Every structure is written in structure tokens, then in C-alpha cells.
């Protein structure tokens, strides 16, 4: 047989198999029936009248689950009892049991949760004190779910003790912390969770002893190791994570990362729950926020420009205090944005390299030191003055804000919203994602996005690191780790500093830009302004979606957004080495670490996708 006949026969055979594959896929696409809607169950207690504290805790969990794009449904104890363990497994891919509202859990509910994990292969997250109290509020001798968790927690106190105490949250290594979503820089030299200016943080823990779980995080402040996060695996595929902290309450106290890192790790690593990735195109994001507080930075800005540290590929969020003064009227120490001899020409150049935002109210230090004492009307006048001048010089709307000295009372927010602000720098929730903050039960609102600073231990700006004698090589490694973390976790992080012409800061700037440019050009991250990310997040939050399991390890995804679905990404766990075909069109795909990322490439308001395993 000659070569032409062999080639022709080969092409016929290939066409046959392609046609067979397409027919099989089309049949799946037309006739596949949904088996289960994918979601987590959030247990909200017995259905009795909920106390105000419990309402706030539940709201904190719901907020983070919504911001992170996890499908969930609130479930009561009565509903869980009616479903039973097998029914609950059919309804929920994971169960989340928040603190406080589930402390007086009855034995029959604890039995359902126990069987859900042991017998049905479900994943369970227990926070602080589930099933620790009797119906009358007294402490049980042994929590009903302690054996399931592999931890004896909320131990009956000895004389002169209470069931709870304050200690640290430590990991065995930085790598272990990173696996649990702890942003690089949030652990101190001993791998304890720390924060900007405060250093090592204390958290509330129940007195507890590990029985037979794997300890992920711990506290050893009192000389004995108290488990803080544990993992217990079961032969049937179930996993129980016990978190010995009131993680929802910390969200209410401006510590968002505590709740967010635990929920993300539990639902992504263990439950493998699909999610709507809350970054543009499902890629990591970095905001570099530069604060220009006064005229003291003109020389530094000139040096940075001369060294090419402002680049159009890496747009900064550049926030400026625009007035001629800094400490008091007439001191002449300000940026003076209106002056052709001082700030105006500098501002006109800077606006080519990012988004110009407002840094407080007209006089940086005066505003920072006196905001808490000023009548609100006077504070608003200073803020308005700063906005008007920046907009007049740049000819562009100011949509970003940062508070001098981190002084940001929530009563400022409604006025900023009236001015058209979309995003602001925030000193709380440090090291976490853009969010809507909560502090002492007060909610900052849902219109503007707060961008928490990402600290390196107790420092935030480069000048602070230099004064704290942090080696520049250490800062360089931190920048690299932070950018890699943002890419791998597909999250947005914000770093901030001031202009500087010291060798330390210039080398650090250069290290950041070299790494950021490399990763951005490879499509792993995106460097953008706060307001650009805020625009995406506000549109993202309008997306309604649902994932259903189909027969044959397949999925159906339905998405809808009145403002368009472009750059919205769904993540589905399909396993390592599996080959899947995606039906529905206008979608870019990426497969990494067992996850399939589907990013919509059109502006359509509705989308139906199906994902089918090809088998080869």
C-alpha cells in the first residue's frame, strides 16, 4: 500500500473518532441530568430567636463566603435533623459550624454531623465551641463533637481558671502558614501571626488538648502546646477541621484575614468547593499604593523618575495631600498641587503612571492629628478641598482615598461615597483581600471597597523597614513571596509606602518592579490601581451563579450578571491529569493543581457552560 493510501486511511479513522467524540459530547450536553447542586451548609443554630451577637457572627461568615464566591446556604438544626447524615451529604459538600450560635447543640444534631464526616465522607469545619453546653447553658464535661475532632476542647476549668484564655497563633513553618492562606509577612520570626505596628497578636482560645488529630497551628505561650488548628482525616474520605478561635468575631473587630484564610483553606483544599474567583480573569492582583504627604518628597520623586521606577506597565495608586501646608496654615511645607513652581508639574507627570487619589484633607499632619476632634463639617471641607484641587489639576475624577495616619472613622464613608470614591486604603484587616470592613459591630457599607495594607511583620512602608534595620535582601524575598502568593492563591493584595531616594528603598522598589513585571508579562498577576480592581469587584458582586454536578463526573455552570460576565472566572476541581472538554463557547480555560479555571471572554449577561470528562 502506497503512502497516499495509508495517509488517506489514517485521516478517515481520525475523522471517525472525532465525529464519535463530538456526538458523545453533544448527547451529554443535551441529555445530562443534574444530580446535585454544589454548595456548603452554614449551620446557624437551633432556630430559636437569635441573639444580636449571633446575628453579627453569622453575617461575618456570610459576608466572607459571598466575597470569596463560595456557594452556600444557611441551614438550621431542625433542617439538618430532617435530612440526616446521608441527606446532608447529598445537599452539602461541606458543613461549616460557627462559634457561639452552635454551642448548645443537642445530641441528635451532633450525631448527624459525626456520621456526616465518619460515614458519608463529608468535610466539617468546627469553630471554637460547638456542642460544649447543655440546653441550660452549663458547660458539658465533654463536648459532643470532641471525639470527632480528635481534640478535647473547652475543658472544664480548674480552680481559678476560665474555659477561655488569650494566647498566640503559631505555625511550624512559614510554608505551613502560607498553605493556610496566611499572607507572607504576617508571621513573625517565630512563625506567630502578627500585625502592623502591634507585632505578635493574641487570640482567644479554648483550653484544649490534642487527642489524635494532626496539629496544624498551635499556641505554646503557657509552656504547654494548645492546638489552634487541627485536621482529622477519616477512612471514608471525611475530614474535620477544628479551629480554636472565634474567627467570625475577629472579622467584626477589623481582623478579616483570620476568618478568610480559614474558610478559603477549608473550602478549597479540603472540600474542593467550586468558587467564583474574585479577581479579574482569575489571576492574582497587586496594588502598589504610594502616599505623597507633603513637599518633603519632591527630591525623592525626581530620583525615582530618573531611575525609571515609574512605569506605565505597573500603574500605581498615587495618593496626594494637595495643600501648600502640612502642620498648620501658612507653614509652606505642603505639596502645593496648584503651584506651577511646586506640585503641579510633578502631579501632571505622575498621572501618567497610575491613578491619582486623595490623601486625607488638605494638610496631612494637621488632618491626621485633629480629625477625631474636628466637627464633621470642618473635616468634610478639608477633604472636599483636596478633591477639588486634584481634579482641577489632573482633569480627572478622584475615585480613591487614603487616610493620613490611618485615621479612618466610618462616619467619613458616606461623604466619600458622595464624592464618588470607589476604593480606599485601610489600616485594619491587615494582610487580607479587598473587603467591606466591620469594627465593633459597625459596618462600613457595601459601596466602597477597602484595601487593607499588607505588612511585613510590624512594618508596612519601606521607610519603616529601613528604620527597623530589616535587610534589603529580606525585603526583596518578601516582595517575591508576596507576588508568588498572590499568583498562586489568585488573590489581591495591597502594599504601600512613600517616595524615597535612599539606597535601601530604591533597591527595594527595583526588586518589586522586576518581579512584578516578570509575573505580569507571563500572565500570572496583574498590577493595577485600587479603583480598577474595585470596578471589577463591584461588577463581580452582581453575579448570580450555580454549579450542578451531572452524571459521569461532569458539571453544569449557569452564570448571570446584568453588567456582563467578561473576565468572571469559575474554578472547578476536576482532579490531577484529567482531560475535560468545555461546552458553551466564549470561555478561556486553564488547568492547574487539579483545578479547572473557566474565564468568560465575552460581555454576555448570561452563560451556560458544561464541563465533561473526555476519558482520554
Going from the C-alpha of 612 to that of each of 35, 38, 597, the distances in angstroms are 14, 16, 14
Q: What is the residue extent of each domain of the chain?
A: 37-277, 285-537, 543-613
Question: In which band, very low, low, confident or very high, does the pLDDT at 159 lie, cut at 50, 70 and 90?
Answer: low
- Provide the pLDDT for residue 427: 94
Q: Which residues contact 281 (CB under 8 A, 6 or more apart)?
A: 526, 567, 569, 588, 599
pLDDT digit string, tens, across residues 99-137: 999 999 999 999 999 999 999 999 999 999 999 999 888
pLDDT at residue 50 greater than cutoff 80: no
CATH 3.40.50.880 fits 37-277, yes or no: yes
Average pLDDT along the chain: 92
- Provide the pLDDT for residue 21: 45
pLDDT at residue 568 greater than cutoff 80: yes
CA angle 485, 490, 491 (to 5 degrees): 80
For residues 609 and 603, give the distance between their C-alpha atoms in angstroms, rounded to a whole number: 15
Q: What share of the chain is helix, strand, coil (3-state, %, to 5)?
A: 35, 25, 40
Of the candidate CATH numbers 2.40.50, 3.40.720, 2.60.40, 1.10.760, the domain formed by 543-613 belongs to: 2.60.40
pLDDT at residue 32 greater than cutoff 50: no
User: Residue range 8-26: average pLDDT?
Assistant: 45
- Provide the pLDDT for residue 49: 61
- Provide the pLDDT for residue 8: 52
- H-helix segments, 219-342: 247-251, 256-265, 298-306
Going from the C-alpha of 601 to that of each of 282, 560, 565, 585, the distances in angstroms are 12, 14, 8, 9
pLDDT at residue 16 greater than cutoff 50: no
Cβ burial 255-281 (10 Å sphere, 16+ → b, else e): bbbbbbbbbbbbbbebbbbbbbbbbbb
- Provide the pLDDT for residue 517: 97
Question: In which band, very low, low, confident or very high, does the pLDDT at 579 lie, cut at 50, 70 and 90?
Answer: confident
pLDDT digit string, tens, across residues 259-310: 999 999 999 999 999 999 999 999 999 999 999 999 999 999 999 999 999 9
Question: In which band, very low, low, confident or very high, does the pLDDT at 24 lie, cut at 50, 70 and 90?
Answer: very low
Q: What is the DSSP string of 385-453?
A: HHHHHHHHHH-S---EEE-GGG---GGGHHHHHHTT--EEEESSSTT--SB--EETTEE--SSSEEEEB
pLDDT at residue 413 greater than cutoff 60: yes
For residues 431 and 183, give the distance between their C-alpha atoms in angstroms, rounded to a whole number: 6
High-pLDDT (> 90) share of the chain, %? 84
CATH number of 285-537: 3.20.20.370
- Provide the pLDDT for residue 36: 77
pLDDT digit string, tens, across residues 332-384: 999 999 999 999 999 999 999 999 999 999 999 999 999 999 999 999 999 99
Amino acid at each position: 500500500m502506497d503512502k497516499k493510501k495509508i495517509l488517506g486511511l489514517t485521516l478517515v479513522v481520525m475523522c471517525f473518532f472525532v465525529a464519535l467524540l463530538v456526538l458523545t459530547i453533544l448527547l451529554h450536553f443535551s441529555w445530562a441530568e443534574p444530580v446535585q447542586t454544589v454548595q456548603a451548609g452554614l449551620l446557624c443554630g437551633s432556630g430559636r430567636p437569635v441573639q444580636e451577637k449571633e446575628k453579627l457572627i453569622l453575617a461575618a461568615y456570610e459576608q466572607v463566603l459571598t466575597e470569596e464566591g463560595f456557594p452556600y446556604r444557611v441551614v438550621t438544626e431542625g433542617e439538618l435533623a430532617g435530612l440526616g447524615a446521608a441527606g446532608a451529604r447529598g445537599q452539602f459538600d461541606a458543613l461549616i459550624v460557627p462559634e457561639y450560635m452552635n454551642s448548645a447543640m443537642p445530641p441528635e444534631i451532633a450525631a448527624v454531623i459525626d456520621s456526616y464526616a465518619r460515614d458519608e465522607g463529608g468535610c466539617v469545619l468546627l469553630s471554637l465551641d460547638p456542642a460544649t453546653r447543655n440546653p441550660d447553658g452549663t458547660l458539658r464535661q465533654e463536648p459532643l463533637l470532641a471525639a470527632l475532632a480528635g481534640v478535647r476542647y473547652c475543658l472544664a476549668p480548674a480552680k481559678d481558671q476560665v474555659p477561655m484564655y488569650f494566647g498566640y497563633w503559631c505555625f511550624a513553618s512559614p510554608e505551613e502558614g502560607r498553605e493556610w492562606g496566611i499572607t507572607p509577612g504576617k508571621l513573625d520570626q517565630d512563625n506567630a501571626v502578627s500585625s502592623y505596628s502591634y507585632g505578635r497578636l493574641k487570640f482567644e482560645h479554648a483550653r484544649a488538648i490534642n487527642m489524635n488529630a494532626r496539629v496544624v497551628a498551635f499556641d505554646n505561650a503557657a509552656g504547654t502546646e494548645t492546638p489552634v488548628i487541627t485536621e482529622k482525616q477519616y477512612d471514608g474520605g471525611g475530614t474535620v477541621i477544628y479551629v480554636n478561635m472565634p474567627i467570625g468575631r475577629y472579622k467584626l473587630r477589623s481582623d478579616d484575614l483570620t476568618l478568610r484564610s480559614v474558610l478559603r483553606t477549608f473550602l478549597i483544599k479540603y472540600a474542593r468547593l467550586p468558587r467564583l474567583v474574585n479577581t479579574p480573569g482569575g489571576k492574582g492582583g497587586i496594588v502598589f499604593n504610594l502616599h505623597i504627604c507633603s513637599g518633603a518628597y519632591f527630591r525623592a520623586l525626581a530620583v525615582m523618575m530618573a531611575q525609571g521606577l515609574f512605569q506605565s506597565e505597573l500603574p500605581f495608586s498615587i495618593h496626594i495631600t494637595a495643600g501648600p501646608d502640612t502642620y498648620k496654615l501658612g507653614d509652606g511645607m505642603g505639596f502645593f498641587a496648584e503651584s506651577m513652581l511646586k506640585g503641579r508639574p510633578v502631579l501632571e507627570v505622575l498621572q501618567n503612571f497610575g491613578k491619582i487619589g486623595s490623601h486625607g484633607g488638605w494638610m496631612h499632619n494637621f488632618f491626621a492629628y485633629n480629625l477625631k476632634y474636628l466637627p464633621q463639617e470642618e473635616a468634610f471641607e478639608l477633604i472636599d478641598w483636596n478633591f477639588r484641587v486634584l481634579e482641577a489639576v489632573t482633569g480627572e475624577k478622584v475615585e480613591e482615598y487614603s487616610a493620613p495616619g490611618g485615621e479612618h472613622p466610618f462616619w467619613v464613608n458616606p461623604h466619600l461615597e458622595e464624592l464618588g470614591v470607589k476604593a480606599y486604603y485601610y489600616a485594619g484587616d491587615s494582610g487580607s483581600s479587598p473587603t467591606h470592613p466591620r469594627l465593633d459591630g459597625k459596618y462600613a457599607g457595601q459601596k466602597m471597597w477597602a484595601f487593607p495594607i499588607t505588612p511585613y511583620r510590624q512594618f508596612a512602608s519601606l521607610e519603616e523597614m529601613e528604620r527597623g534595620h530589616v535587610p534589603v535582601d529580606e525585603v526583596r524575598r518578601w516582595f517575591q513571596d508576596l507576588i508568588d502568593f498572590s499568583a498562586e492563591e489568585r488573590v489581591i493584595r495591597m502594599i504601600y509606602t512613600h517616595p524615597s531616594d535612599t539606597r535601601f528603598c530604591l533597591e527595594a522598589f527595583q526588586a518589586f518592579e522586576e518581579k512584578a513585571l516578570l509575573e505580569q508579562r507571563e500572565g500570572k498577576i496583574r498590577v493595577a490601581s485600587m479603583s480598577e480592581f474595585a470596578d471589577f469587584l463591584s461588577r463581580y458582586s452582581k453575579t448570580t451563579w450555580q454549579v450542578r454536578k451531572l452524571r459521569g463526573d461532569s458539571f453544569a455552570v449557569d452564570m448571570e450578571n446584568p453588567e456582563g460576565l467578561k473576565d468572571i472566572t469559575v474554578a472547578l476541581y476536576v482532579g490531577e491529569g484529567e482531560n475535560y472538554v468545555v461546552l458553551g463557547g466564549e470561555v478561556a480555560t486553564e488547568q492547574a493543581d487539579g483545578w479547572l479555571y473557566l474565564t468568560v471572554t465575552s460581555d454576555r449577561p448570561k452563560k451556560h457552560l458544561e464541563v465533561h470528562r473526555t476519558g482520554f
